[in-house]
Amino acid sequence: MFFADLIDDETKRRNTLGQLLWKRADRDFVISVGKNGGPKTEIKIHKLILASRSTVFNDIVNADMKEKMESKIDITDFDADIVQTAVEFFYDRDTYKSRNLVSLISLLKFAEKYDVKDLKSKIERLLVHELNPKTICQIANASVASNSSVLKNFCIQSMIIYLKQEIPIAHYETLNSDFTAALKNAN
């Protein structure tokens, strides 16, 4: 591959439709985020971007419901920074890659709840790289909570290795009972 081809590939990645729309100010839909009755944060997004990235959001913006009429949805079970990171992902931005473990787990749960398959897949891959004896229980529990069989299987295989090698596992007592049962069946 020639240097000019590399530059063209980089330019193509920066000039996706999502990247181009990210810079525009004509967003026509609002996600109002306020966890546990706290202050609301409004995140603006293009309705078509929102609908194209999630079957759940697609149903919401296209159904004859108040969300469609008001061009607004309320999200009360995720923090504004998690929703903002997901919105940035919808616009082909990769800010999710720099998030910490707790945020990645929240993004995984967001992706599962709103059926954002490509975000879920990318977060699963990032979490596999975060697996170690200190984080495995937290990630294993997240795999169950987010219905991630891929991540759950990686956690089971890693846990088996740690246990066989008698490597201490942090917070083992916090493991989800469904995960513990799957782990016993795998041994």
Which residue range is the domain that position 18 belongs to? 1-95
What is the pLDDT confidence band of residue 5, given thresholds at 50, 70 and 90?
A: low
Query: What does each C-alpha distance from 118 to 56, 86, 87, 130, 135 come to in angstroms?
Result: 14, 11, 13, 19, 23
What is the pLDDT confidence band of residue 45, given thresholds at 50, 70 and 90?
A: very high
SS3 content of the chain, % helix, strand, coil (to 5): 65, 5, 25
Can you tell me the mean pLDDT for 41-65? 91
Mean pLDDT, all residues of the chain: 88
* Domain count for the chain: 1
Higher pLDDT, 145 or 34: 145
Higher pLDDT, 15 or 163: 163
The CATH number given to whatever domain includes residue 51 is 3.30.710.10
Q: Look at residue 163 and tell me whether its pLDDT is greater than 90.
A: yes
pLDDT score at 26: 78
pLDDT score at 11: 47
Helix or strand holding residue 36 (H, E): none
Q: Look at residue 12 and tell me whether its pLDDT is greater than 60.
A: no
Higher pLDDT, 28 or 155: 155
Query: What does each C-alpha distance from 19 to 89, 115, 147, 151 come to in angstroms?
Result: 10, 21, 30, 29
**Does some domain include residue 69?**
yes
**Does some domain include residue 127?**
no
Rounded CA-CA distance 24/39 in Å is 26
What is the pLDDT confidence band of residue 4, given thresholds at 50, 70 and 90?
A: low
Place of tokens 């004859």: 64
pTM score, two decimals? Answer: 0.86
Q: What percent of the chain has pLDDT over 90?
A: 67
Strands (E), the chain: 29-33, 41-45, 72-75
What does the DSSP assignment read for 37-86?
A: G---EEEEE-HHHHHHH-HHHHHHHHSSSHHHHHTEEEE-SS-HHHHHHH
Rounded CA-CA distance 61/41 in Å is 19
Lowest mean pLDDT among 22-26, 50-54, 97-101, 178-182: 22-26
**Does some domain include residue 145?**
no
Rounded CA-CA distance 152/170 in Å is 17
pLDDT digits (tens, 9 = 90+) for 69-103: 788 999 999 999 999 999 999 989 999 999 999 99
Rounded CA-CA distance 84/77 in Å is 13
pLDDT digits (tens, 9 = 90+) for 115-132: 999 999 999 999 999 999
Rounded CA-CA distance 104/121 in Å is 12
Phi/psi region, residue 35 (left: phi>0; alpha: psi -120 to 50; beta: rest), is beta
**Does some domain include residue 32?**
yes
Rounded CA-CA distance 137/131 in Å is 9
**Does some domain include residue 56?**
yes
